[in-house]
Chain A
């Protein structure tokens, strides 16, 4: 055994050779390269790499080429902490962590305790920021409650939905976040009523009992707010439609993508908020151009909108570094916090000293009709969701 340890010890020394060299600008990715989260982290990371390549081609950042170091979290929290330490020891100036708050937090906490900026690839919980990890942590995506609130208000204003049903999958914080936003918005919509609510679990083999409750209502609700995510979402949607419930289904961004639609043939009356369209019909032609670039780089189209936040992340961080003239944490954080409706490819982004996240955002509304998804509208909630409501 001692022999083995000696070999292992020798190999770690190789790994941590580079240390604290200030002539370089290094982006450290402590993300999942294997395991469950890999499917979610990789597309966003690929998008981030595209932005890094663009910046490097245009002459780099502060005149230096951006370098990249990686460490695999293996979709494991304890490994996440190690991955964070690894990229920090390799000289990272910013630590990019997993898409999901729960899996990204351990690495983000190592960055926070080393006084470095951490950026969640696409976490949508308010805790992926000041309120959870700490004052140097940011997320590149939009808060989940904004999605629920957007869908509720949009369905009310544009689709005359008045009776709502709330179906929550209690599996993750993300799901609860969507429904929290819905709960925040609903009382603000005059004569809109909640006709019922229920919960299920993502892994439930059958949600027959929940469906029976909906069918027991005197009248089918206008809209069902479905707060869930993959993989359970497909199952829930399929079972809802199989039971003959034809209400409008409102969702969070987690169900974006056409890859799963074959499971529910001819799905209609189904609405999803997205930051950018992967279907080639984004009102902004540059998004479609990005999609082509992504395909060129990775060999496939983006499969969901969660590809985009990775690009936004490098974009806003690089701008802040450029403005601050340094990669030093406090200066970059200060510049990021000055961003107010900063234009990006996927809508304006705002960071404040109170919130490192978007509590209001422009969303495209994708409608799936007869199994074909496409952008039908654009919606921004009338006012940002107050931080106090996000924290409850």
Chain B
């Protein structure tokens, strides 16, 4: 019982990370058909805002010293701000560009952010003790689980419910959903395009910041490439979930997390190193059988 629960928790916490990442990508894809490759670099930047720029090996903690009730909103706000800034400065000029162009532009932007961080902080991973109380283990149903894993799962579920009710209950949410369904039509019907898109970027940035907080406290490290892996998995989850479908992205994120953890558990030692090959093989299989994704968002077929 205990060990099964442990695996379930492992899968759920990894899946939560991917799901949060996939949501961030799907939100932006929904409103402007942009596959935002800069998302991973926004995640990394959100961790680095806690440190004072320096190329020394020892991190100079700056905003990271704030008490948690200030630190969490601060990081979320920085994520949102960076993301909105990227829309205002860069992506706004690409409204009518084709998806490939936007994708490469977002990649170039991520490249700029990454090398900017590298110049300010050097490539050496910096250690930070972020929210250290979260590293303590707790006992749930016979499984000893780090508190952080529990919080990750709870936060993800909280974010999902919060986002759902936000999209369902508020006017802004309604506009955003309308824009995701059919942007041109929504615009004709009076949806304020720039506001909706900026809102989507702000939400996406805040989600990136949430991932940054989780990754930062889990790994204790700020590293310029730390967002890349989550971003790739999130990107895959977004596609498997059905481009533009928020619920699909979340489900696929959890699914990918579960596949990765289960592969690690069931593969024999010699094959474990090949885990990723099996995971990506599974991705191809899912795509072959459900090319439009698990849940298909209306109006997103064949745009890329």
Contacts and interface: CB of A to CB of B under 8 A. Distances in A.
Contact of B261 (A209, A244, A264): A209
Contacts of A212: 3, 6-7, 10, 265
A170 B273 contact: yes
Contact of B218 (A206, A265, A304): A206
B14 A206 contact: yes
B295 to A, nearest CB: 24
A230 B137 contact: no
Interface stretch (A76-84, A231-239, A344-352): A231-239
B154 to A, nearest CB: 16
Given A37-B123, A39-B124, A208-B149, A244 B221 contact: no
A260 interface: yes
Given A212-B3, A242-B137, A260 B272 contact: no
A231 B59 CA distance: 14
A215 interface: yes
A235 B129 contact: no
Interface of A: 34-40, 75, 170, 197-199, 201, 203-206, 208-210, 212-213, 215-216, 230-231, 234-235, 238-239, 241-244, 257-265, 300, 303-304
Interface of B: 3, 6-7, 9-10, 13-14, 17, 55-59, 61, 118, 122-129, 132, 135-137, 144-146, 148-149, 215, 218-221, 223, 225-226, 228-230, 260-261, 264-265, 269, 272-273, 275-276
B220 A203 contact: no
A35 B118 contact: yes
Given A210-B264, A216-B3, A234 B272 contact: no
A235 B218 contact: yes
B221 A38 contact: no
Contact of A203 (B7, B61, B228): B228
Q: Quick one: which of B219, B225, B226, B269 has the most chain A CB within 10 A?
A: B219
Nearest to A211: B10
A372 to B, nearest CB: 15
Given A36-B118, A235-B219, 15 more contacts: A35-B123, A37-B123, A39-B124, A199-B273, A201-B275, A205-B14, A206-B14, A210-B264, A234-B220, A235-B220, A238-B218, A242-B137, A259-B58, A259-B126, A260-B221
Nearest to A38: B123
Given A238-B135, A242-B146, A303-B58, A209 B265 contact: yes
Contacts of B58: 258-259, 303
Contact of B219 (A36, A209, A238): A238
A39 B135 contact: no
A243 B146 contact: yes
Given A199-B273, A206-B218, A231-B221, A244 B144 contact: yes
B57 A303 contact: yes
